[in-house]
């Protein structure tokens, strides 16, 4: 059986985990974050929500060291639960990763339109009142094609791309935050909360799982570690990704609230850039922010592409979906069929345009939490020592809480019809895919 190339180091796993987690939400939907919770509500929401993920990150770190399998959650749950649970968990996590790819393909068009207003033209159609422009579609398709080719050619090429874009983002982030904060004032922070303090923090915490999903992508590339790699490196990469992710999100929210009276800019396109431009009084700060956002977009797109394609490949290898998805390119040593499928599906979904941005965040939060809950439950059932079982129990409770606060109708910010439609569609596709995989597996056994 052909195997995947083994070329990844600890640095590569960190940039995969953190790079897959942090995208361009801090630029594209910052107004949504602040309108949910206010400046302090946003900071507390991401801080508390992120800290709650540390026990889950601990569980993932232990499991990936013990089972370095690209199937990730599928492999962990398969040890202690029926195949149906294992498949359902994997299918939910597949959505968590895949759903980011068209999100970023759409977002790159929005950023390009902000830089070059001429791209906001040639409207093709509208979805939910949001126009879809031909130049946006062309740019998104071009980026999708580039990343599909990159991942088809080899993991080392993809990892090098991930490293440069990740560290480039961090450097530019430090630069523009430092420059902007030097011109800001604490008087700009109010309103600290947009609702009551509790509701404000809760509304922000509801979307944290989506924007913090990615640290567990380390597990999806576990089979591609270099021969000299030590298992403890997986654990370090996951924890570093979560902690740096918390710091990034809280700092950028605090910076936007500090540099200018943010309430005045919530109706602006890319309010983060507008707020910093107002504080500095010059357009060049916007250029730094947009370059940082573009690098961030590239890395999060690539990271989720890697995670989604590896998970799809591993599910095919286990016969949970069509086994042709488990093919490995004989020369590139990449899951070539799975890579092409993710690329084509991304290209198709991005035609939904801007209307998918916020609903995707909502659905992504729930499916991520489902995967985390199942993983922690599986770890608990494996019977580790009492301390580890306690941590797993906390992880289960956190995952369950994150699910309930989005699906219970009485909780502010719960699912609307659009989110239920998106989730229901994905579940239906999963039933079809699982049935086909099981049918082919049975047919092969009979032959």
Reported as a pLDDT band with limits 50, 70 and 90, residue 194 is very high
Q: Are 133 and 124 in contact (CB under 8 A)?
A: yes
Q: Where are the beta strands (DSSP E) in 196-295?
A: none
Indicate the range of 131-140, 326-335, 404-413, 429-438 predicted with least confidence: 429-438
Query: Which residue is listed with tokens 């970023």?
Result: 104
Residues in Cβ contact with 224 at an 8 Å cutoff, skipping those fewer than 6 apart = 4, 5, 6, 7, 8, 70, 155
Reported as a pLDDT band with limits 50, 70 and 90, residue 444 is low
User: What is the per-residue pLDDT for 192?
Assistant: 94
User: What is the per-residue pLDDT for 89?
Assistant: 94
Residue ranges of domains in the chain, CATH in brackets: 10-436 (1.20.1740.10)
The pLDDT tens digits for 294-335 are 999 999 999 999 999 999 999 999 989 888 999 999 999 999
Q: Check whether 34 has a pLDDT greater than 80.
A: yes
- Considering the chain, what is the average pLDDT of its residues? 89
If DSSP codes are grouped into helix, strand and coil, which group holds residue 79? coil
Q: List residues bridging with 56 in a β-sheet.
A: none
Query: Which residue is listed with tokens 């790079």?
Result: 19
Residues found in the chain: 447
Structure tokens at 371: 């995967």
Residue 100 φ/ψ, nearest 5 degrees: -70, -30
Q: Are 203 and 413 in contact (CB under 8 A)?
A: yes
pLDDT average, residue stretch 127-156:
91
User: What is the per-residue pLDDT for 443?
Assistant: 54
If DSSP codes are grouped into helix, strand and coil, which group holds residue 185? coil
Angstrom CA distances, 364 to 202, 285, 403, stand at 17, 31, 11
Q: Are 74 and 316 in contact (CB under 8 A)?
A: no
Q: Where are the beta strands (DSSP E) in 217-290?
A: none
Q: Check whether 240 has a pLDDT greater than 70.
A: yes
Q: Check whether 128 has a pLDDT greater than 90.
A: no
Q: Are 310 and 220 in contact (CB under 8 A)?
A: yes
Residue 68 φ/ψ, nearest 5 degrees: -75, 75
Query: Which residue is listed with tokens 């990271």?
Result: 303
Radius of gyration of the chain (CA): 21
Q: Are 352 and 129 in contact (CB under 8 A)?
A: no
Angstrom distance (rounded) from CA 325 to CA 222: 18
User: What is the per-residue pLDDT for 412?
Assistant: 77
pLDDT average, residue stretch 218-233:
93
293-337-445 Cα angle (round to 5): 140
Q: Check whether 446 has a pLDDT greater than 60.
A: no
- Specify the pTM: 0.90
Residues in Cβ contact with 66 at an 8 Å cutoff, skipping those fewer than 6 apart = none
Q: Check whether 445 has a pLDDT greater than 60.
A: no
If DSSP codes are grouped into helix, strand and coil, which group holds residue 8? strand
Q: What is the DSSP letter of 192?
A: S
Q: How far is CA 54 from the centre of its chain?
A: 17
Q: In the chain, what is the straight-line distance between the N-terminal and C-terminal CA atoms, in Å?
A: 20
Q: Cis bond leading into 431, ω under 30°?
A: no
């Amino acid at each position: 059986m052909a195997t995947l190339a083994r070329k990844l180091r600890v640095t590569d796993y960190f940039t995969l985990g953190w790079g897959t987690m942090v995208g361009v939400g801090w630029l594209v939907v910052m107004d949504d974050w602040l309108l949910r919770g206010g400046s302090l509500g946003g900071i507390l929401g991401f801080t508390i929500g992120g800290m709650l993920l540390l026990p889950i990150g601990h569980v993932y770190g232990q499991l990936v060291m013990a089972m370095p399998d690209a199937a990730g959650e599928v492999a962990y749950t398969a040890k202690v639960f029926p195949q149906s649970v294992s498949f359902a968990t994997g299918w939910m996590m597949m959505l968590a990763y895949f759903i980011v790819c068209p999100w970023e393909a759409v977002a790159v068009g929005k950023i390009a339109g902000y830089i070059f207003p001429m791209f906001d033209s040639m409207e093709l159609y509208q979805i939910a009142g949001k126009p879809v422009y031909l130049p946006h579609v062309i740019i998104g398709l071009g980026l999708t094609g580039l990343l599909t080719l990159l991942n088809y050619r080899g993991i080392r090429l993809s990892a090098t791309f991930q490293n440069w874009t990740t560290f480039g983002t961090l450097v530019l982030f430090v630069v523009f935050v430092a420059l902007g904060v030097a011109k800001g004032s604490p008087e700009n922070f109010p309103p600290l909360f947009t609702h009551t303090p509790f509701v404000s923090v809760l509304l922000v915490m509801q979307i944290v799982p989506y924007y913090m999903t990615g640290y567990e992508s380390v597990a999806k590339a576990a089979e591609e570690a270099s021969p000299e790699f030590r298992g403890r490196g997986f654990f370090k990469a996951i924890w570093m990704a979560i902690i740096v992710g918390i710091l990034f999100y809280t700092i950028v929210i605090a910076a936007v609230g500090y540099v200018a009276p943010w309430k005045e800019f919530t109706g602006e396109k890319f309010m983060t850039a507008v707020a910093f431009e107002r504080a500095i009084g010059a357009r060049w700060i916007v250029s730094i922010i947009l370059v940082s956002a573009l690098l961030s977009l590239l890395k999060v797109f690539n990271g989720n592409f890697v995670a989604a394609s590896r998970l799809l490949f591993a599910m095919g290898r286990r016969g949970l979906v069509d086994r042709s998805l488990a093919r490995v390119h004989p020369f590139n040593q990449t899951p070539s069929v799975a890579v092409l499928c993710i690329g084509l599906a991304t290209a198709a979904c991005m035609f939904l345009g801007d209307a998918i941005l916020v609903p995707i965040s909502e659905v992504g939060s729930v499916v991520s939490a489902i995967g985390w809950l199942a993983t922690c439950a599986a770890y608990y059932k494996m019977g580790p020592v009492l301390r580890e079982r306690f941590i797993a129990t906390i992880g289960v409770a956190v995952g369950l809480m994150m699910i309930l606060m989005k699906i219970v109708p009485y909780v502010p910010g719960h699912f609307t019809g659009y989110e239920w439609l998106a989730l229901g569609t994905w579940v239906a596709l999963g039933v079809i895919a699982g049935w086909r995989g099981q049918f082919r597996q049975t047919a092969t056994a009979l032959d």
